Structure 1
Amino acid sequence: MRLHRLTLTAFGPFADTQTVDFDDLSAAGLFLLHGPTGAGKTSVLDAVCFALYGSVPGARQGSGPGLTLRSDHAAPATRTEVALELTVAGRRLRITRQPPWERPKKRGTGTTVDKAQTWLREYESTAGTWKDLSRSHQEIGEEITQLLGMSREQFCQVVLLPQGDFARFLRADAEARGRLLGRLFDTRRFADVEKRLAERRRATETQVRDGDAELLAYGHRMQQAAGDAMELPELAPGEPGLAEAVLGAAAVARSTAREQLTVAECALAAAESAQAAAGRALDDVRELARLQRRYGEARERAARLEQGAGAYREAQALMERARKAEAVAPALELRDSADAEHRQAAAAEARARALLPESFADAGAAGLATAARRAAEELGGLDSARRAERRLAELLDERAGLDRQERADADVLQEAEAWLDDWEETRTGLQARVDSAQQAAALAEQLAVRREPARRRLTAARQRDRLAEDTNRAVDRVRRAREDTLRAKQHWLELKEQRLTGIAAELAANLTDGTPCAVCGATEHPAPARKVAGHVGREAEENALAAYQRADEQRAEEERRLGVAREALAAATAEAGDTPADLLAAETDELEKQYARARRGAAELHSAQEALRQAGHEHERRLAARQEAAVRTAARVGRRERLERERAALEEELDRARGDLDSVAARAAQLERRTALLTEAADAARVAEDTAQRLKDADARLADAAFRAGFETPQAAAESLLDNAAHRELQHRLDAWQHEEAAVRAVLAESGTAAAAAQRPADVASAQQAADEATRRLRDAASAHDAAARRCAELDRLAARATASVRRLAPLREEYDRVARMAGLTAGTSADNERRMRLESYVLAARLEQVAAAATVRLRRMSSGRYTLVHSDDRAGRGRSGLGLHVVDAWTGRERDTATLSGGETFFVSLALALGLADVVTDEAGGVRLDTLFIDEGFGSLDDQTLDEVLDVLDSLRERDRSVGIVSHVPDLRRRIHAQLEVVKGRSGSVLRQRGGQGGAGTP
């Protein structure tokens, strides 16, 4: 994989579009990415990762929802975008990604959110054009991951080499190393195997225990079914021999239950015979008692019938008179109906005559009808007078309306005249308000232009004063750091000189007779040098050197901070000038007060303009209202005269029609009431005359019907009639007496009943007691037989289930033994696993051994052959083994843990480890070639000689046509590495400057 070009827009600290030409930077093999703290060096690496995978490295993904990739310095209308051109697997691709963007709406106010977009294009060399491949986030992610052969975590660990992570890796324990290597080499499948075996072991163990528990439960149920006559073994689930003991006890219990069933069958047969005999004797006694009771009851019923014979004959006579009276019933109903109609008609006639004048008291139906016709004719002549009366009311209402209109128009004219008299004065005042507000608005616009520059200048002045104090303090710190560095260097050189003076004593300390001298080669040592008092050893010299290096690093850091402070001070001074901050603050406050006053005055502009416009509309409305009122007043004069003439003619006509009443309507109502009363009275008189005649006819027919039926008077016939309920009740009594008499005679005539009455009374209680006792003995025998049968069936059923459970459990126990051995071996807990190494740790140990071998190749060169990385599978304390990492020091010949390395040693050892890990992971990912690598920080801990060796190793990567980008603050690297990508920080965002490549210096 080789990077060609990266383009950033509104990303991270970069507000505008920035371009990185990796082809130009990679021409030299090594290139440097540097810049002030917070300028955005890491954001360049984030952009590469975001273009490939759609997200930034894990440690910089953000800790909250408020963290975004968009630059805070970018213009609202500029969309965030990252575009990367690269070559991978022989294909040149261009990936363009745009994260979600909250932008202002094109219409109206507020914002809207545009969705994330992604494009993948491929360059066709034959046509010289870019071809679109996909715009799907998921498809592009799968395509890039397949081409690179690495996940985002692997890419960030292999291509964007994070030195801090590998330094922690060297000092970490086995568990932490396992987590990192597991992510890089994707050994989750081996961990899944361990987990699956452990789960399978727990599952089979649970199944075995459940099977034993089920078998033991069957045993307890068989013990309960056998009536506690069965003894169970005292074994827990999972213990051997449980199945044989339970099945043996079950066989004994089943044999005993079958013997008990045979005894119960014999007892049941004897009880059944005795119960049948007692039942037959009870039935005979009950039948004799029934016949005796039947004969006694029949005798009692016959006596009661003899006592009620007189009442029976009276009821028969009453029924006969009722049958004769039924022939007179129709005539009685007709006479009652005619009498009711006549009384109702007479009452209606009386009520109608009571409403008429006394002059009509003796008039007949014909006279009343004639008077009603005359009143109706007079009512018909009042229709014309009614219309005249309605028209007169309309005229009066219309004249009242004219009066109201006249008063309203007079009020309108008066109000309009009063308002128009003050119009000129009102218009002049409103126009003055508008002019004043317009002047205030113009002043506010002028002051608004001056506010923001004044604020920025005040802020810059305050920052200038603060930075001036920070710069002075930084100067003091730099001076003290330089003095400390000089003292430390002088002390180191003095100790080094003293050690060189006494180096012979150190060499002589290792001389032995017969061993050649490392200086002269002699095997005899007659006078070896001796250490003198105050001898300086190598440890003291190294401690002095380390102190000097720390002091020099502190000095460089203080100088860098001083430079940053001076740059910031210069920027603030350039914007604020030399004016004191207090004076600028007073000027800004006064400007704000003037602006506030102008804004308040300008705020009145809209209301003043609106008031002037409303006043103009009101002026026009008043003029129109005055003119319309004058026109309406002139039109009302002629209309009033016409109404007066028509009113006089109508009143003359109505005087004639009303008579002595107040109105024509009252006269018409009087005639309507009289007509209705006369008509109603005439009708009532005719109905009364008709009903009287019908009543007379009904009386004659009733007298004739009563005589023919044998009654002396109609009243006697009416009294003999029975209603339906009384007739049915009387007939029911007669029928019941006859039925009872026939039933008694039939019972007394039975021969069996009479014979039973002649015998002794039956003793039912004794027979019932004997039968109950026989039934109880039979029930007890049946219960005992059923219990024995159920016991045998339950024991057989449970024994069959227990036997089937034993058969099912055998293969489960074999599988559990086999799975438990495998799970213990892969988990490192088995005795067969001597080093207690888990399966995943075993695979990771093999990978770590490959990484250590690949890292040693570069580590030897970085350390001048001193250090070698080796893998160790020894156990650490009581923990598990497999992921140990040691370093072998060729100067001492000792092997020690990587956690004991110093700061500088840790850096180049971790760098070698990172490069070796990159090679191994690349091979693991399918051999994808990585032509571009980045190394982030850590070079400040190296001395000059070690730095040269490390750079030589990195420069050797060009032999494999690789380019390495170094991200560092070390000033010495700017002299050693000519190809550079500088990140320049500014108030409006950061920019990129590229120089030293084939294309020369770049521009932002």
Structure 2
Amino acid sequence: MRPLKLVMSAFGPYAGQTVIDFSQLGEQGLYLITGDTGAGKTVIFDAVSYALYGQTSGGVRDANMLRSQYADADTPTFVELEFSFRGKCYRVRRNPEYRRPSKRGGGMTKEKAGAALYYPDGRVPVTRMSDVDKSIVELLGLNHKQFTQITMIAQGQFRKFLDTNTDERSKIFRDLFHTYFFQQLQDRLKQDAAAKRNEFAEQQRRSEQALNGISCIYPAYTEKLQSFAARHYEGCVEEVLALVDTIIALDEKEQQQMAAAAAIVTKNLTALQDSLSAIDKKQQLEKYMQTTEVRIAGMQKHLEQEAAAAVQRQEALQKLEAEVSEAQKGEVELAQLQTARQQLAARQRELRQLQEMQQRYQSQEVSLLQKRQEYKQACDNFNHLNEQSDACFDRFLGAQAGLLAHDKLKPGKPCPVCGSCEHPQPVQLAQDAPTENDVEQARAKAEAAQKIRDGLIGEGKALKEHLELDKSLLTSKGMELLGCDDLKLIAEKAQAELKDVNNKITSLRLKMGFLQEKVEQYRKLAKTLEQQKAADKQAEAAAQSMRQQMAGAEGQLQELKKQLAEQNELLTDVDEQKLQQEHEKLLAQQRELELQDKRLYAAIKNNQRIKQEVSGYEARRAACEAEYSLINSLSATLNGTLTGKKRVNLETYVQMHYFDKILQRANVRLLRMSRGQYELCRDKMQDADSKTGNSKTGLDLEVKDYYSGNLRSVKTLSGGESFMASLALALGLADEVQSCAGGIQLDTMFVDEGFGSLDDSSLQQAIATLQGLSEGHRLVGIISHVHDLQEMIDKKILVKKKRGLQGTGSEVALVVD
């Protein structure tokens, strides 16, 4: 990984946007970052580390503290790094969480932390912070901790990789040299060994659980089983199984003896069966005979009660039949009344029709009279209007001379009537003379009145003809119904007869209501009579059936008495009580033998099952033990846990190979920088001491001092010596990583301080060593205040604090000679 361009905005002491173009520094060699104390030299390394991993280089500054205190409120805080990796250019941008002015309204709002990674092939950028973190680690092959330990020797941190222990150094090598496969193999074997150990223990547990269920009723063998159980059957399973065979054999022998005794008891029970059957039959006959006698007595009592009830039913039937006969007469009378009522109703309808005809005739007479009055009024109105019309016309004609004189006669003009030009006495025009329009209106009114009069003549004629027809029909109907044709007489007779008919109908309705109740009573009585006859017939049938049953029961009773006498004769010399006691005793013996046989059968089957299960468990346990022994031995070898052996696992063993090569490369530089005094070595004495205990070894360091000829801990080195050793180790690690096929490419390195602890000679050696890195196309950045370095290194990044009119914050200047 090589940085190409770094953009810092409102980051640390840099108030505005600061751009550092690393591409101007070339692809190899050294460059120096120098300047005022506190101006922000280390912040440049922090910005690179933050852009890649979201954390600063030394881990001292928290990401939330990176917002510049000199920046304007509107200036955004972010870091953007363009870098090349394996010939391709990438760009990553990050911003911490900080507060900024709200875009809507006043006040401040929180800008959330964000990140984005842009690829050279134009694929969709990664924008989620967690995904960016993961993608950077996958791309570079280093996490933040490894990056700072290998490529960035931060201020105050240069001793960490030198002083770290085997566990921490192994984690770094795992990612750098991809040795995780060996760790996975170690873990897999450890898991397999644990699984086989658990399976072995499970088979042992199942075997012990099964053996604890052995059934045994023999005290001597029970004591042995208890002693085996106290030892958890350890090493004595075969002996226990042999003992189970012995117990099964004893139980089978006991079972055979039980079977022989049960056969004898069964034989004795069979011998008693005939006598017991006779006794049972006698008892059953006695019980059945008692039941039959009770049943006969019950039927006899029931028949007596039924005879008394039959007499009562006959008396009730006779009484009910008399009531039915009396009520039946009302039904005939009701039918006669219904016929009479129908006849009266027909006569009532005829009389009402006659009355309706008479009312219609009278209504028409009134209408005719009204028409006549209307006609008379119409005639009078017509005569009056006709006279007015004639008078209006006469006055109109009389006024024509006055109109002519008024409109036509002029002095000196001839008269249109006589031709005279003199007009001594012209007719004067009347003031109320009608006009021609008045004449026409008077004539129209007279003609309208005439039309009304003529219309009433036709209506009256038609009404009179209809009245004559109705009168003819009414007199004809009156003659037919009442024997008279006088209209007044017809009305009187019809009214009187209709009143009489209505009264008769009312009287019949009352009688019919009374008779209807009587008929309903008759029907109910008739239905009750039928039901009682049916019930009497059914009771008689039941009584007859019971008499037959009682006769059959009496016959059965005689037969039972006969059979009971025969059984008593057979059991004359038999002691029934003694025989029953013997039978109960044998039954008790039989039940006891059956219980013992079941217990023995269950014990035999249980012990046989246990033997079979335990044999299977033991076979599987033996197989598991053999597999566990092999896998556990292999796991212990690969995980470095063999007793009496070095505690070096397979992964560490492989890493030791890489570590030795790293130390070879580091010592080339360290010997030159220390003028042949120091050489880094693996601590083999600790390896020898690690045969006991749980600490992991193999990657610990010590230093060989050729001046004293002794080996000692790297922790005993002074500050300057530690710096040289750390620098040599970091460079050796970078060389070895890149030399491995598929290894991680490290094209840059950052060194922060540490040179101030070197004397002039050591400083010259250190700079010479770092300059030698250009052969590997590596660019090394150094942060230092040492004045001599400014003269030794041509490429510089100068960091200055702004003062006075220049503003606040820091600024960067790139110097390339």
- TM-score, L = length of structure 1: 0.54
Contact 1:264/1:788 (<8 A) preserved: no
- Aligned partner of 2:616 in structure 1 is 804
Q: Report the equivalent of 1:697.
A: 515
Matched, 1:742 2:558: no
User: Where does residue 416 of structure 2 map in the other structure?
Assistant: none
The CA deviation at 1:335 is 9.2
Matches within 5 A, 1:245-284: 245-284=239-278
Specify the code of the residue in structure 1 equivalent to 2:559. Answer: G
Match of 1:87? 84
How far 1:753 sits from its partner (Å)? 1.0
Q: How many angstroms apart in 2 are the aligned matches of 1:791 and 1:191?
A: 53
- Are the aligned partners of 1:80 and 1:99 in contact in 2 as well (CA < 8 Å)? yes
CA contact (8 A) 1:163 1:910 kept: no
1:392-431 equivalence runs, <5 A: none
What secondary structure is seen at the aligned counterpart in 2 of 1:132? coil
Corresponding letter in the other structure for 2:267 = S
Matched residue type, 1:30: L
Amino acid at match of 2:122: D
Superposed displacement of residue 239, structure 1: 8.3
Q: Which residue does the alignment assign to 2:54?
A: 55
Establish whether residue 773 from structure 1 lines up as the match of residue 589 from structure 2: no
1:141-160 alignment, distance < 5 Å: 148-160=140-152
In the alignment, structure 1 residue 977 sits paired with structure 2 residue 793:
yes
Q: Which amino acid aligns with 2:126?
A: S
Query: Conserved in 1, the CA contact under 8 Å of 2:278 and 2:567?
Result: no
1:963 paired to 2:779: yes
User: Quick one: which of 218, 228, 232 aligns to 1:234?
Assistant: 228
- Taking structure 1 as reference, are residues 191 and 873 closer, same or farther at Cα in structure 2, changes over 3 Å only? farther
What is the CA distance between 1:37 and its match in structure 2? 5.7
Q: Give the structure 1 partner of residue 560 of structure 2.
A: 753
Q: Tell me the residue number matched to 2:406.
A: none
Where structure 1 has 5 or more consecutive residues not aligned to the other structure, the ranges are 123-130, 337-684, 707-713, 999-1004
For 1:308 and 1:132, the matched residues in 2 are separated by: 115
Q: Percent same amino acid at aligned positions? A: 27
Secondary structure of 1:874 counterpart: helix
Distance 1:755 1:830, change over 3 A: same
Equivalent position of 1:830 in the other structure: 642
Q: 2:595 aligns with which of 783, 806, 828?
A: 783
Residue type matched to 1:46 in 2?
A: D
User: Which letter maps to 2:512?
Assistant: R
Q: What code does the residue aligned with 1:316 have?
A: A
Offset, 1:995: 3.1
Equivalent residue for 1:860? 671
1:764 and 1:985 mapped to 2: Cα distance? Answer: 132
Distance change (3 Å), C-alpha of 1:800 and 1:62? farther
**In the aligned structure 2, how far is the partner of 1:36 from the partner of 1:334?**
147
State the shift of 1:898 in Å: 1.2
Larger Rg: 2
CA distance in 2, matches of 1:132, 1:16: 30
Hey, what's the Cα distance between the residues in 1 that align with 2:175 and 2:329? 118
SS in 1 for 2:707: coil
Please give the secondary structure, in 1, of the residue aligned with 2:685.
coil
The 5 Å alignment of 1:133-212 reads: 133-136=123-126, 148-162=140-154, 164-178=156-170, 181-182=173-174, 184-185=176-177, 187-212=179-204
- The answer as to 2:696 corresponding to 1:884 is no
Structure 2 counterpart of 1:2, which letter?
R
Structure 2 CA distance for partners of 1:319 and 1:9, relative to 1, 3 Å: same
| Change in 2 beyond 3 A, CA 1:971/1:957 | same
1:285 aligns with 2:279: yes
Q: Cα distance, 1:40 vs. partner?
A: 3.7
Alignment partner of 1:901 out of 692, 717, 721: 717
Q: Give me the whole-angstrom Cα distance separating, in 1, the residues matched to 2:681 and 2:766.
A: 20
C-alpha distance in 1 between matches for 2:737 and 2:328: 124
Q: Which residue of 2 aligns with 1:3?
A: 3
For the residue of structure 2 that corresponds to 1:135, the secondary structure is coil
Determine the C-alpha separation between the residues in 2 that align with 1:295 and 1:811.
79
**Do structure 1's residue 922 and structure 2's residue 738 form an aligned pair?**
yes
| Number of positions where the alignment pairs a residue of Structure 1 with one of Structure 2 | 628
**Contact kept? 2:35, 2:41, Cα under 8 Å:** yes
Aligned partners of 2:17 and 2:91: how far apart in 1?
16
Looking at structure 1, the residues matched to 756 and 259 of structure 2 have their Cα atoms a distance apart, in angstroms, of 105
Q: Give TM-score scaled by structure 2 length.
A: 0.65
- Compute the displacement of 1:966 (Å): 0.8
Cα deviation for residue 54 of structure 1 reads 4.9
Secondary structure at 2:204's aligned position in 1?
helix
Q: How far off is 1:803 after superposition?
A: 1.9
Using a 3 Å threshold, how does the CA distance of structure 1 residues 331 and 821 change in structure 2: closer, same or farther?
farther
Q: Which residue of 2 aligns with 1:849?
A: 660
**Structure 1 position 997, deviation (Å):** 0.9
Secondary structure of residue in 1 paired with 2:283? helix
Letter in 1 for 2:91: I
Superposed CA deviations along residues 267-326 of structure 1, whole A, max 9, x for unmatched, are: 233333333444454333232233234444545555666667664433112212333455
The one-letter code of the counterpart of 2:619 is R
Contact 1:842–1:882 (CA<8 Å) still a contact in 2?
A: yes
For residues 692 and 882 of structure 1, do their structure 2 counterparts lie closer, same or farther at Cα, with a shift above 3 Å needed?
same
Give the distance between the partners of 2:652 and 2:520, measured in 1 at CA: 130
Cα offset, 1:862, TM superposition: 1.4
CA 1:697–1:932: 2 relative to 1, 3 Å: closer
Deviation of 1:183 (Å): 5.8
Cα pair distance change 1:213/1:920, threshold 3 Å: same
Question: Aligned with 2:24: secondary structure?
Answer: helix
Cα distance change on mapping 1:323 and 1:189 into 2, 3 Å? same
| Distance 1:851-1:227 versus aligned 2 partners, 3 A rule | same
Q: CA offsets per residue over residues 745-777 of structure 1, 9 Å max, x none?
A: 212223531303546878976665444333322
Question: Counterpart of 2:653 in 1: which secondary structure?
Answer: helix
Equivalent of residue 944 in structure 1, options 749, 760, 766: 760
2:717 is aligned with what amino acid?
L
Residues 308, 3 of structure 1: alpha-carbon distance in 2 compared, 3 angstrom cutoff: closer
| 1:935-974, Cα deviation, whole Å (9 max, x unpaired) | 1222222233322322222222233333211123445544
Match 1:216 to one of 200, 208, 223 = 208
Deviation of 1:867 (Å): 1.7
1:656-675 superposed matches below 5 A: none
